[in-house]
Amino acid sequence: MKDFVRSVFDATVQIPKGRVSTYGDIAIALGDVAASRIVGVILARNPRPIVVPCHRVVYSNGEVGWYGGKGRGAERKRELLSKEGVRIKDGRIENFDSVRFADFKIDPMLKDLRREQDAMSRKVVERDDFGKMKFIAGLDVSYADDDAFAAMVLYDCSEDAVVDRKTIRRKATFPYIPSYLAFREIPVLADLIDGRKDTVYLVDGQGVLHPRGFGIASHIGVAFDIPTIGVAKSLLCGVIEKEEAKKSPIRLEGDLKGYLVRQSGKHPLYVSVGHRVSLESAASVVEKLLDKGKVNPLQEAHRLANDARKSALNTEAAKG
């Protein structure tokens, strides 16, 4: 998080007086326009306004936008820009194209992360490659700002019972950016993963159903060489072929890469291969564990992570 935030500020101070840039332009300089929303969030919390001239960052349609958070400070932002010689009419930059600055000299770090995903994605095994599936583990993370609370719940298949629970607290080192979730959550989850080959891990997020075929479930699978399944609550990419009652195929560029799985009347889940599990096995594991529309070990991990966060926060609030 520190490095990413610093990069956003580094870019912002490069915008000259009398010029403006956009959240998307800074995101592109960081390597991916997908980061534009988090650039906005970070600049909205800029602790050093003026020094870090976030008032020079506007919407891509030329509207001036807010200053210091959504719905706030638009007037102040217009004032500051006007004083710097930027002409504004009806809340829009007048000669937007000519005053727009995008020649940032910063490290496009997201490009490197994409390359890492592309390289590692070639190692994904999309067929059953595990011993006896003795355990199924659920992983999840809960946040309070940069405080991350991760949970692991271990379910014994033969005993049909939870046999282990672990939680851990870490500082998040990277923001949430769609398609880069793994870089936020893997450092938090790492110490909860032991490389046992008789355990299939369920991960809250996509597997190969990802723009580069390498969502967090696949990333964890390849990084730790363990079987994993991606179970997401919403779709990142892909097309649902035809909506059936229980199980519908999802295609990515024409290839079958996932299933929408649901219990009647409940929200759907999007299942895809993480690593060393076939799509058919992944779907059947999830279907078997479905209870009230949720996958049991994941639901338990979710609750555990939330509880850990709330009790930690309450304890600290009590201490003052």
Partner DNA sequence: GCGACAG
Partner DNA sequence: ATCTTGTCGC
182 binds DNA (CB under 7 A): yes
* N residues, the chain: 320
Active site residue 237: no
Biggest alpha carbon–alpha carbon distance for the chain: 72
65 binds DNA (CB under 7 A): no
Minimum distance from residue 269 beta carbon to DNA (Å): 8
Q: Which CB sits closer to DNA, 40 or 205?
A: 205
**Continuous H helices in 239-278:** none
187 binds DNA (CB under 7 A): no
Site residues for DNA, 277-316, by CB under 7 A, read 306, 309
- Options 54, 229, 277, 308, the catalytic residue: 54
Site residues for DNA, 32-51, by CB under 7 A, read 34
Total interface residues for DNA by CB under 7 A: 28
142 binds DNA (CB under 7 A): yes
Q: Which residue do the tokens 């519908």 mark?
A: 248
Contact 220, 117 (CB under 8 A): no
| Binding segment (CB under 7 A) for DNA, from list 94-102, 130-138, 174-182, 246-254 | 174-182
Minimum distance from residue 143 beta carbon to DNA (Å): 5
Minimum distance from residue 176 beta carbon to DNA (Å): 3
29 binds DNA (CB under 7 A): no
- Dist CA 67 CA 81 (whole Å): 11
Output phi, psi for 309, to 5 deg. -65, -50
Q: Which CB sits closer to DNA, 193 or 237?
A: 237
Kindly tell me which residue out of 13, 119, 144, 256 binds DNA, with binding defined by CB under 7 A: 144
Q: Which CB sits closer to DNA, 204 or 300?
A: 204
Q: Which CB sits closer to DNA, 86 or 304?
A: 304
Burial of 35 (0-12, 13-18, 19+ CB in 10 A): buried
Strand, coil or helix: what is 214? Answer: coil
Pick the closest to residue 22 from 69, 68, 70, 54 (CA basis).
Answer: 54
Strand, coil or helix: what is 302? Answer: helix
CA distance readout (Å), 283 to 23, 267, 302: 39, 16, 20
Contact 295, 138 (CB under 8 A): yes
Residue 161: in which H helix or E strand, if any? strand 161-171
CA distance readout (Å), 92 to 30, 76, 78, 273, 312: 25, 14, 9, 46, 45
180 binds DNA (CB under 7 A): yes
167 binds DNA (CB under 7 A): no
Minimum distance from residue 95 beta carbon to DNA (Å): 21
Q: Which CB sits closer to DNA, 15 or 308?
A: 308
Pick the closest to residue 189 from 233, 162, 152, 242 (CA basis).
Answer: 152
141 binds DNA (CB under 7 A): yes
Strand, coil or helix: what is 128? Answer: coil
| x/- map, 214-253, DNA, by CB under 7 A | -xxx------------x-xxxxxx----------------
Binding positions for DNA, rule: CB under 7 A: 34, 140-144, 176, 178-182, 204-206, 210, 215-217, 230, 232-237, 306, 309
User: Which residues are known catalytic residues?
Assistant: 54
